[in-house]
Amino acid sequence: MLTKRLRFHGHGGLRFLYKNADAYRSHLFVVKSIANPHRKRSRYSVVVSKKVHKSAVGRNRIRRRVYEILRKDFLPTNGVHDVAIIVASGEALSAEHSELVSVLRDLFEQAGLIQ
């Protein structure tokens, strides 16, 4: 799990991110990112809606898997950004770890967050 200082708090920041950020899509995820020069560290959010998985247990498991991938493989990113990873498919629950990592790596490279 990511530390609290690297996660979003409240809905105001996410609303701004949803309106103004660039979106990068795959069959499992949508990554929205925008540069934020007002902060010292990047912030991350993983959003899993009830449309993706009805069970709260399933949604939380998906969220934990994605946060763990972020923590291990993608931190730190280039510059300071606000990043939201929106889970687009319930397949993320049963997908292999390596597939999730490769899909997120491709999206982060498209967004310019990693090299």
CATH number for the domain that contains residue 85: 3.30.230.10
Report how many domains make up the chain: 1
21 CB contacts (<8 Å, ≥6 apart)?
32, 33, 34, 82, 84
Give CA angle at 92 (64, 80), nearest 5°.
55
Three-class SS state of 11: coil
Read off the pLDDT of residues 43-65 as tens digits, 9 standing for 90 and up.
899 999 999 999 999 999 999 99
Q: Report the alpha-carbon distance of residue 34 to residue 83 in Å, rounded.
A: 7
Alpha helices in the chain (DSSP H): 12-20, 56-69, 97-111
Q: How far is CA 33 from CA 43, 46, 50, 62, 102, in A?
A: 10, 12, 22, 20, 18
- Single pTM value for the model: 0.89
Read off the pLDDT of residues 28-40 as tens digits, 9 standing for 90 and up.
999 999 888 888 8
- The boundaries of the domain holding residue 19 are 4-111
